[in-house]
Homo-oligomer: A and B are copies of this chain.
Amino acid sequence: KVQEQIDVKQIADKIISGDRGYLSKGITLIESNASHHRQSANELIQHILPHIGKSVRVGITGVPGAGKSTWIEAFGKTAVSKNYKTAVLAVDPSSSLSGGSILGDKTRMEFLAHHPDVFIRPSPSSGTLGGVARMTRETILLCEAAGYDLILVETVGVGQSEGIVRGMTDFFLLLSLTGAGDELQGMKKGIMELVDAVVINKADGANKEQAMKTMHDYNQILRFLTPATKGWKPRAYTCSALYNSGIEEIWDLIFSFISETKESGEFQKRRSRQAVDWMNQLVQIRLNETFFIEEKKRQMKNLEEKVRQHELSPSEAVDLLFEKYQ
């Protein structure tokens, strides 16, 4: 069997020159689960590493129906009008289950989908959140190397996905609904301490008044919580993506955040910290993959059940699990 030859250097050069086709090709390589592709993917990243770091990375979260696609369409329009090459990515851990991706439906981003300065890539549909996270992080690097100035990473709040997107972006934004009152009830645990801003969308028509109230409620909480970014006071804002009002203000907000954090050094510190955190996460994933071969998984499951029933102490269970390992 002849192993396929991948010219990693060529792909890297083409990506750096801004070739969209090769950018897609590079991402496909990154998303491949074949182990011989992993090595090529790592080499590819290593090649493009000197060309990364120049974009602004913005994470966007919000429940389904919060209008993320419409908001990204409006925000992306603003970006291209200012000559910002824009990439739109997604982290959607549910897409491997549902078979679809939150960015799969490009109809709500019709303008962006056809614009030459915009690159849209749906969420990878790998099985694990860790896998999706790795791929998206590496895709960000490729997009940066390809000259994209603004990278938007969308996520739906499933499992740990918000923390993961926060960990790969400079600015993190929660898009919130308004209308029904009680919007803040059932808010996801910890989410408010991840955000740099809350944006209440659909603040138009009859909704406007309720949106102001929701904004006030969010500000009440934000006032008390520890900010996600040192030296930055997160606040709530309203906008209407549909009527394109308040979008320019969010743009200004994000870019004043970027210049402030660059000046204070927090921007660069966060990027370094994110890379190291990611490395540490990869180490943990790898350690577990190496240890938890099929037999160990079965054994762990049995022991876990005994611990659940208080038949075995956790310490004793772990001793049993590691007996054969050491």
A residues at B contact (CB < 8 Å): 39, 41-42, 45-46, 49, 52-53, 134, 137-138, 141, 184-190, 192-193, 217, 220-221, 224-226, 271-272, 275-276, 278-279, 282-284, 286-288, 290-291, 300, 303-304, 307-319, 321-322, 325-326
Contact = CB atoms under 8 A, between A and B. Distances in A.
B291 A287 contact: yes
Given A286-B318, A315-B42, A307 B291 contact: no
B187 A226 contact: yes
B224 A184 contact: yes
Copies in the complex: 2
Given A224-B221, A276-B308, A291-B287, A316 B190 contact: no
B184 A189 contact: no
A287 B286 contact: no
A304 B316 contact: no
Contacts of A141: 313
A173 B275 CA distance: 36
A191 to B, nearest CB: 9
B313 A46 contact: yes
B283 A321 contact: yes
Contact of A311 (B49, B220, B307, B313): B49
A19 to B, nearest CB: 21
A314 B138 CA distance: 10
